[in-house]
Amino acid sequence: MSEDLCQQVMIQTTKSVLFGQMSKDGVTSFLQYAKDNVALLASIWSSQHKIQIDPSMLMAQIPATRKAVFHRLGLNPDLTTQACCQKCFALYPLDPTKNPKCTERFFSQAQMFERWAKSENIKPTCDQELWRLGSKKKIKPVRKFTYVTLNSWLKHRLMNPQFESALDSSLAAANRDPTEEMEDVWHGRIWQEFPNSDDGAGIFTQHSGNIVFSLYLDWFNSEGTSSLGKHHSLGAITLVCLNLPPTQRYKAQNMFVFGIIPGPKEPSLEQINHLLKPLVEELKTFWNPGQFFKTTANFPKGRTIRVAIFPLIADLPALRKAAGMSGHQSNIFCSFCLLERKDMEEIDVSKFPLRVHEKHLEHAKKWLETENFTERENLVKEHGARWSVLNEFTYWQPIEHCAIELMHALILGNLKDHSL
């Protein structure tokens, strides 16, 4: 009886958190009230039946915090923490004996040094210290990167019947009249034609259990908004479930925050690849063959979930970093065409040489295989491409899957102002 009561209290608490958005303090108060009620009932029963009932053991079985409730029910997120190089953002397991220093390849801008290293058959590494001596003389990473696995997040969200049912809302777009105005990403060409497999067969978005997430990156100053004061830049890697209706997809409980990019400075250019790598590796298994969940709210016997990522949404600097393209102030400044900076005033669209996926990937791979800083920079200047870990997705189309940044371009009016 005591175990049943305790379990019911934890289940009620969990429902209040998941469906009622109960706060941490609210959960603590709720659990204390449950203990108080147990003590009150024990007192009433003792007086009515003339026996002494000690409720202390039963009260001790009721958790005191939300964290304890989720731990007892197995609902805590699957967090992974790795040591993060303070210089290049490379990630390492939390084992100081294996990697005392960063072993990531280092490319120097000093050509004399590069020529010397090549002549001596030396491959320089970052060599940054990864560990420090913390309090109580315990070895700790100098900097950490903690992230949540998509598997654990979906396992949690798929236990909500409303969420799981809402995932099929996008299936109605398959029967839409193509002559009607587009109102959402569901009505776009890429959504309507996205292949269900690497051989191009089928339509991915027409199958229940196939989920599309957009990938969003942005940085913010944790010290405030002033450009003159302190600056500590933190970033967020967030996935938005596009299968949900627009009224539901941007609610906090429906957005998957993969991880917070540590500061104080943003990763530069290709360094973002280190932080995206764990996410990409997991998403590759979600694409093929998919992940089987033993039970969900609407499928008690389990179901397979597949996931694809598109589009990439970010402001210009973040988008060029993540997509592996040259910056907006570089020679090849556009993510859709190869117009050079000297021709920026050109307004004849027919003279815009469009980027091609195959060529972009070819140049990106060549950049990755090149082991010289200056040669890499020359490739970027000539072709506007560097390697992105997103290219590891077999379905990834780096040109089409990078969205125009709406906040600055449209909502804040930059596109309108620059077109005058």
Q: Are 204 and 194 a contacting pair, CB within 8 Å?
A: yes
Q: Identify the three-state secondary structure at position 210.
A: strand
- pLDDT of 420 reads 45
User: How much of the chain is helix, strand and coil, in % rounded to 5?
Assistant: 45, 20, 40
Helix spans in 124-260 (H): 150-157, 161-166, 189-193, 246-249
Same domain, 290 and 307: yes
Q: Choose the final residue of a domain: 23, 40, 73.
A: 73
Do both 65 and 83 map to the same domain? no
Mean pLDDT for all residues in the chain? 88
The answer on 233 and 299 residing in a single domain is yes
More confident residue, 276 or 175: 276
Residues 204 and 244 in one domain: yes
Task: Please check whether residues 201 and 237 belong to one and the same domain.
Answer: yes
Per-residue pLDDT averaged across 28-35, rounded? 88
Q: Is residue 200 part of a domain?
A: yes
286, 306, 322: which is the final residue of a domain?
322
Whether 391 is in a domain gets the answer no
Please give the average per-residue pLDDT across 271-292, as a whole number.
96
Q: Are residues 226 and 282 in the same domain?
A: yes
Is 378 part of a structural domain of the chain?
no
- Domain assignment present for residue 155? The answer is no
What is the predicted pLDDT for the residue at 355?
93
Instruction: Please state the rounded mean pLDDT for residues 39-61.
Output: 79
DSSP assignment of 110-122 equals: -HHHHHHHHHTT-
> Which tokens hold the place of 197?
């497999």
State which residues form the domain around 123.
79-141
Query: Is residue 154 helix, strand or coil?
Result: helix
344 inside domain: no
Instruction: Give the per-residue pLDDT at 180.
Output: 85
Q: Does the pLDDT at position 2 exceed 60?
A: no
Residue 95 burial (CB count, 10 A): 10
Can you tell me the mean pLDDT for 75-99? 90
Percent of the chain with pLDDT over 70: 95
pLDDT at 3 over 70: no
Please report, for residues 274, 361, 404, the alpha-carbon distance to residue 381 in angstroms, rounded to integers and kept in the order given: 23, 15, 22
Rounded to an integer, the average pLDDT of 244-271 is: 91
At 367 the pLDDT is 95
Is residue 390 within 8 A of residue 368, CB to CB? The reply is no
Q: Does the structure show a pLDDT above 50 at 67?
A: yes
Q: CA 32, 38, 41 angle in degrees (round to 5)?
A: 140
Q: Select the more confidently predicted residue: 99 or 223.
A: 99
Do both 317 and 219 map to the same domain? yes
- Answer whether residue 154 shows pLDDT above 90: yes
In the chain, the amino acid numbered 345 is E
Q: In this predicted structure, what is the pLDDT of residue 388?
A: 95
| Whether residue 234 sits in one domain with residue 262 | yes
**Phi-psi label, residue 412: left if phi above 0, alpha if psi -120 to 50, beta otherwise:** alpha
Q: Is residue 417 pLDDT above 70, yes or no?
A: no
What letter does residue 338 receive in the DSSP assignment? -
Same-domain check for residues 272 and 300: yes
* Strands 131-133 vs 210-221: parallel, antiparallel or unpaired: unpaired
Nearest to 288 by CA among 395, 149, 399: 395
pLDDT score at 418: 53
Q: Is the predicted pLDDT of residue 331 greater than 50, yes or no?
A: yes
Q: Write the pLDDT tens digit of every residue in 181-212.
A: 888 999 999 999 999 999 989 999 999 999 99
One domain, residues 125 and 68: no
126 within domain boundaries: yes
The pLDDT value given to residue 7: 82
Do 274 and 301 belong together in one domain?
yes
- Is residue 392 situated within a structural domain? no
Per-residue tokens: 91 = 């990630």
Domain annotation covers residue 353: no
Domain count, the chain: 3
DSSP assignment, residue 63? Answer: -
Whether 313 contacts 216, CB under 8 Å:
yes
Confidence of residue 416 (pLDDT cuts 50, 70, 90): low
pLDDT of residue 99: 86
Over residues 1-10, the mean pLDDT reads 74
Same domain, 94 and 68: no
Final residue in a domain of this structure, among 292, 322, 352: 322
- Contacts of residues 254-258 at CB distance under 8 Å and 24 or more positions apart, as own/partner, are 254/157, 254/163, 256/148, 256/150, 256/153, 256/213, 257/148, 258/147, 258/148, 258/150
Q: Has residue 410 got a pLDDT over 80?
A: no
The CA–CA distances, whole Å, from 164 to 76, 247, 251 equal 20, 15, 15
Q: Of 226, 230, 256, nearest to 241 (Cα)?
A: 256
Q: Reduced to 3 states, what is the DSSP secondary structure of residue 389?
A: helix
Q: Rounded mean pLDDT of 352-366?
A: 94
Q: In this model, does residue 40 exceed pLDDT 50? A: yes
